[in-house]
Amino acid sequence: RHGMTTVKINEISNKTRTENSISMTLAEHIAAALPKIKNNIVAIDSEENRFKAIAEHYASLDLTAQNKTRVVALSKAQCEKINLIIHENLKAQGQLTGKPEQFSVWLPKRMTLAEYTLARNYQIGQMVRFNETYRSLGIARGDYCRVQSINAKDNSVSLQTPRGIAAWDPKKIAAPTQKVEVFEEKQREFLTGEKITATRAMKTKGIEPHEVLTVKQVNTQQLVVINQKQKTITLDRQTA
């Protein structure tokens, strides 16, 4: 459609057995997926123990195998937990080195369509990304705007935009058509050897969306990373 070639999830070719099973699972063909990986299924009794086992297994792999491995989970919250446990395992084994530095990162907050439309579901300090231009708000496509205050009674969110303050009613503009994304600021520790996945493209830095970057050097002000084309890129604290 619109001149673009599309592929359905069930149109799978030249995939490994594991990739096939993941694709089938995502397409809800559970019964067909399980026999392909039945010898690799491990039952673990609790979430804590499962996450620990996943992290330990990943950390035990050599670098080549780690680069080919993707850890998946049912939710973003679970992914964050597993990532932190893996980080601690890699650090304990000496695979992450150097002096640790704390950086702020912006992580997506998942909300339903209905939640996006209500001001009460936003929090001061969150960042809202607009994926379309809205002249009535003085907001351009791609702008990141910080939540300054919330008026639940009027369903209004006050935003600090790149051009000033804007009063936004998410029920009327952007949110009903899923033209916004919400991000929350988190503190994360980084060391040399860390792997980072770019959630969005950074054209000025030559970073592609979903590209995996490896931290080459870290200090109080910068992260120096290597992309998948082996290009060295410097990210200052604000950019990172």
pLDDT digits (tens, 9 = 90+) for 97-138: 999 999 888 888 888 889 999 999 999 999 999 999 999 999
Task: Kindly report, residue by residue over 14-26, the tens digit of the pLDDT.
Answer: 345 566 766 776 6
| Average pLDDT value for residue range 82-101 | 93
CA dihedral for 163, 167, 168, 173, sign (positive or negative): negative
Does pTM surpass 0.75? Answer: no
User: What tokens does 38 get?
Assistant: 């039945």
Q: Which residues pair with 127 in a beta bridge?
A: 146, 183
Q: Which residue has the tokens 């990304």?
A: 129
- Please say if the pLDDT value at position 32 is more than 70: yes
Contacts of 70 (CB under 8 A, 6+ apart): none
DSSP type of residue 33 = H
CA count, 13 A, side-chain hemisphere, 52: 6
Alpha carbon 96 to its chain's center: 21
Whether the CB-CB separation of 186 and 77 falls below 8 Å is answered with no
> What end-to-end distance do the CA atoms of the chain give, in Å?
36
